[in-house]
Amino acid sequence: MRLIAGLLFISIFGFYTAPEFTDWAGYNGGNDRNHFSPLSQITPNNVKNLKLAWTYASGGADTINQTTQMQCNPIIIQGIMYGVSAGSQAFALDASNGREIWKTTIREKTPNMTSRGVAFYSSPAHSSKIFFGFGSYLFALDAKTGKPVETFGDQGKINLVEGLKRPGADDYAVLNTPISIYKNTLIVGTRVSETAPALHGDIRAFDANSGRLLWTFHTIPKPGEYGYKTWEKNNYKNVGGANNWMGMAVDPKRGIVFVPTGSAAFDFYGGNRKGDNLFANSLLALDIRTGKRLWHFQTVHHDIWDRDIPAPPNLFTMTVKGKKRDVVSILSKLGFMFVFDRVTGQPIFPIEERPFPASEVVGEKTSKTQPIPLWPLPFVKQSFTEKDVNPWASNKEEIIAELRKSQTGQHFIPLSVKKKTIFFPATDGGAQWGGAAVDENSVMYIPAKQNPVHISLIPLEKTIENSGKSLYVQHCQSCHGQNREGNEDGTIPSLREVHKKYSEPLLTQILVKGRGRMPAFNFLSAAEKKAVLAYVQGLNVAVEGPVKKSTLDFSPFTFTGYTRWYDSQGYPVSSPPWGTLTAIEMNSGKHLWQVPLGEYPELTAKGIPPTGTDLYGGPAVTAGGLIFIAATKDEMFRAFDRKTGKIVWQYKLPNAGYASPSIYSINGVQYVVIACGGGKVKTNSGDKYLAFALKN
C-alpha cells in the first residue's frame, strides 16, 4: 500500500516524496484492541504546545431535539480517516485537514443506535471496503466513494436480524461495535434487547466479499452442543441474549477470535433459565476458520445482575517467570481483570470460586459460587456500606437510613422484591465499553467509575388488565420510571411532556424504530402501541383487540430500573473518587498508580480535591509516554504522563468526548483525534471531531 501511494505521488507531482503514514488500523487501534500508538513526537515535555489542528462537524440527527451521541473511535488508513457522524452516517475525510471526502446518506428503516466505528478491509483481488453497522444492517462500502458494494450481500448489505430469530422474540438486533476481520472472514456480533423477548446472541462469520454466511456459533447451545446441559431444556428456543455487543479481538498469527459475551435476557431474573448458562458472560476463543470453540471461561455463572463483560479483550505479551506468554485479558464491571494464556485458556493468575448467598425469590436459583480473580487486585472499590457514604453528601443521614434498609456490602447479592439491592460498581461498571490501553512494556491503563445503582424486582400479576398502563409497566417502566419521570441523570428522558414535543406519528415511529439505548417495540400491535402512548400522556385506556405475547409469558418480574443513586444536590452518594484511571504493570500484576479522572469545577473551586466523574470511553497510550483520554462528564480532553499519572495537558472540548481517541501520523506530523458527541449524563449533544497536533 505504501509503495502504491508513493508511486501515485510521483505520477501526479512528478517528483519523489513518498507520503509517510502511521495508521490507526482498527477499532481501539487494531486487532489487539490495545489503544496503542508507536508514535513519539508528542511527549510529556512538549505536550503543552499541543494545539487544535482541525475540526470536523459530522452532522447530527434529522429530528429536532433528538439527543445524539458519538462513541466512535475513528480509524485512519494511509492518511484517510473513516468514522461515523452524530447522525449515524459513515464518512471519510482527509485526516491532515478534516476535509470531507464522502458521507453516506443511508435511509433504511431500522432501529437507531450509536455507532462505535467502522472496520477497514483490503485484499489484493478486491478494492478496499469499509464495513459499517447502520442499525440492523451490516453495510460494505467502497472505501474510495462510500457507495455500497453491490456484490456484497443484498445490494451491499446484510440484515443481521435474519438468522437470529426465535418464536415470540422481538426484532431488535443492531451492530454498534465494529466487526472483526481475519483474512477474508468477517466476525460479527450484535446488540440485542436486554428484556425477555431478546433475539439470539449468536456469533456469526461472513465472507468479506460475497457476504455469504460462513458459520454460526450458538451462544445458547442447541441439543447435543457443548454447554446445552447448563440451561433448562428448551432455553435455546425461549431465551435470548448472551450476545457480543462490546467487540472482539483477533490473534492474526493463530487465527483465533476472542469473543466476550453479555448476560442472557432478561437481565435480572433467571428462574426460567436455571443453570450456569454457558456461554453467557463468557470469554470464548473460537477458531476463525471453522467457528469451533477452542476454550472458554465464564466470568459470572447464571447472571441475574447484568454483569456483561463490558469491553473488548486486550491481546498482549507478558513475561511470566522469565518466559514470554501471549495472553488475552478481559476487564469486568466489578473491577476485576482475568488474564489467560491465548492458546490453552489457562489462567495466568489464580482465580477462586467463592460462595455467594442464595436467592429467596420464588423460582430463582442462583449459582452457589462465582469466580473471583485473586490477582491483580481490583481497580475499583469493592463495596458500598455506611462508612463509604460521601462525607459531605447534602442529605447524608437520609442516605444512611436508606442504605440500612437495603441489601449491600458485596457482589452478587440476589435481587429482592422487598428491598433495594445496591450495585457497586454500578450496572455499567467499573470498567465500561471504552476498555483499557496496553503499552509496549505491558502496562495497562484502565478508566473506571465508582458510583452506586439500586434495583428491586417488581412482580407482574398474571391477572394484569389489558391496558396501556399494564403495557407501560411491562415494557417501559424499568427505564422511564414508575411515574414516567425518566432517570435522574437524564440518560433516560422523562415522558411526561413528550406529547408536547412530538406528534403521535413521530411517537409511534420512536416505538417502531427504537432510539439510542431504547430498543424497538415493533412487536407490539398497533392497538397496543396506541394504548401505551395514551398512557404516556396520562390516560389509561384498554387495548382494543387481542393482546400479543407479553413479558409475562417470559418472566414473572420486571425491575425498578437502573437507578443511579445521587444525593439531593446531584452528586453520587458514595465517597469520591467517582472516576479513576489506574495503571497496572501486567508482568507482576502490581498497581503502579491510580488517579481521579475528571472533576466538578464547582467542587474544585471549593478546595475539594478532584473527585473524578462519571465517564464513558477509553484511553490511548503512546510510545511518546502519554495517555490521552476524554471520557469525563466535565467535557475535558486530557493527557497524562504514563509513568506518574500526572496531568500534563488539558483542553475544554465543545462537548463531552464519550469515545476513545485515535492517534496517527501524516508526513511526520502526529495527530490525536477525538469525537465530541456528549448527550449522556446531562451533558449536551454535539457532532464535532477535533484533531490536535504540535504547533511548529
Q: Which residues bind ligand HEC (CB under 6 A)?
A: 66-67, 475-476, 478-480, 492-493, 495, 498, 501, 507, 510-511, 515-519, 521, 532, 536
CA distances from 694 to 46, 439, 650 (A): 8, 22, 14
Closer residue to ligand HEC, CB minimum distance, 194 or 364? 194
Shortest Å, Cβ 64 to ligand HEC: 10
Choice between 176 and 478, CB closer to ligand HEC: 478
The three cell numbers of residue 2 are 505504501
Please give the distance of CA 204 from its chain centroid, rounded to a whole number: 19
What is the nearest approach in angstroms of ligand HEC to the Cβ of residue 555?
13
Q: Which is nearer to ligand HEC, 494 or 575 (CB)?
A: 494
Q: How far is the CB of 566 from ligand HEC (least distance, A)?
A: 18
First to last CA, the chain: 29
CB of 634 vs ligand HEC, minimal distance in Å: 21
Nearest partner of 83 among 695, 691, 692, 693, judged by Cα: 691
Q: Whole-number minimum distance, CB 170 to ligand HEC, in Å?
A: 11
Q: Which is nearer to ligand HEC, 99 or 109 (CB)?
A: 109
> Measured from the CB atom, is 273 or 469 closer to ligand HEC?
469
In contact, 558 and 474? CB cutoff 8 Å: yes
- CA proximity to 536, closest of 486, 481, 499, 490: 499
Query: Smallest distance, Å, CB 308 to ligand HEC?
Result: 14
Residue 119 to residues 140, 145, 434, 475, 513, Cα–Cα distance (Å): 10, 15, 17, 34, 25
CB 258 within 8 A of CB 285: yes
Q: Are 371 and 299 in contact (CB under 8 A)?
A: yes
- The nearest distance, CB 90 to ligand HEC, in angstroms, is 19
Q: Which residue is it, cell 430500573?
A: 561
CB of 67 to ligand HEC, least distance (A): 4
Closest CA to 433 of 616, 299, 597, 613: 616
Look at residues 221, 214, 216 and name the one whose alpha carbon lies nearest to residue 190: 216
Is the CB of 36 or the CB of 305 nearer to ligand HEC?
Answer: 305
Q: CB burial class (10 A; 0-12, 13-18, 19+) of residue 549? A: middle
Nearest residue (CB) to ligand HEC, 163 versus 486? 486
State the sign of the Cα–Cα–Cα–Cα dihedral 146, 151, 156, 157. Answer: negative
Closest CA to 156 of 211, 204, 87, 101: 211
Q: Which one, of 141, 256, 231, 138, lies nearest residue 190 by Cα? A: 138
Cα distance between residue 672 and residue 661, in whole Å = 7
Q: For residues 643 and 224, what is the distance between their CA atoms, to the nearest angstrom?
A: 51
Closer to ligand HEC at the Cβ: 185 or 685? 685
Nearest distance, CB of residue 658 and ligand HEC, angstroms: 12
CB of 236 to ligand HEC, least distance (A): 24
Smallest distance from ligand HEC to CB 470, Å: 11
- Residue 48 Cα distances to 403, 650, 651, angstroms: 45, 9, 10
Could you tell me if 510 and 61 are in contact, meaning their C-beta atoms sit under 8 angstroms apart?
no
The Cα–Cα gap between 639 and 268 comes to 38
Q: Which residue, 106 or 265, has its beta carbon nearer to ligand HEC?
A: 265
| Minimal distance, residue 479 CB to ligand HEC, in Å | 3
Instruction: Give whichever of 376 and 516 is closer to ligand HEC, judged by the CB atom.
Output: 516
Query: What's the closest the beta carbon of residue 216 comes to ligand HEC, in angstroms?
Result: 26
* Cis peptide preceding 279, ω within 30 of 0: yes
**Nearest to residue 618, comparing CAs of 56, 71, 188, 69?**
71
CA distance 597 to 580: 5
Amino acid (one-letter) located at 279: F
Query: Can you tell me the distance from the alpha carbon of 147 to that of 158, in angstroms, rounded to the nearest whole number?
Result: 15
C-alpha cell at 592: 503502579
Separation of alpha carbons 103 and 691, rounded Å: 19
- Beta carbon nearer to ligand HEC, 492 or 620: 492
| Residue placing its CB nearer to ligand HEC in the complex, 438 or 532 | 532
Give the nearest distance from C-beta 463 to ligand HEC in angstroms: 21
Name the residue nearer to ligand HEC (CB basis): 365 or 517: 517
C-beta closer to ligand HEC: residue 285 or 510: 510
d(C-alpha 424, C-alpha 426), whole Å: 5
User: Are 273 and 221 contacting, i.e. CB atoms less than 8 angstroms apart?
Assistant: no
Give me the residue whose beta carbon is nearest to ligand HEC.
516
In terms of CB distance, is 454 or 480 closer to ligand HEC? 480
- Shortest distance (Å) from residue 639 CB to ligand HEC: 30
Judged by CB, which is closer to ligand HEC: 188, or 518? 518
Q: For the chain, give the longest Cα–Cα distance.
A: 81
Among residues 173, 172, 60, 75, which one has the least CA distance to residue 116? 75
Least separation, in Å, of the C-beta of 501 and ligand HEC?
6
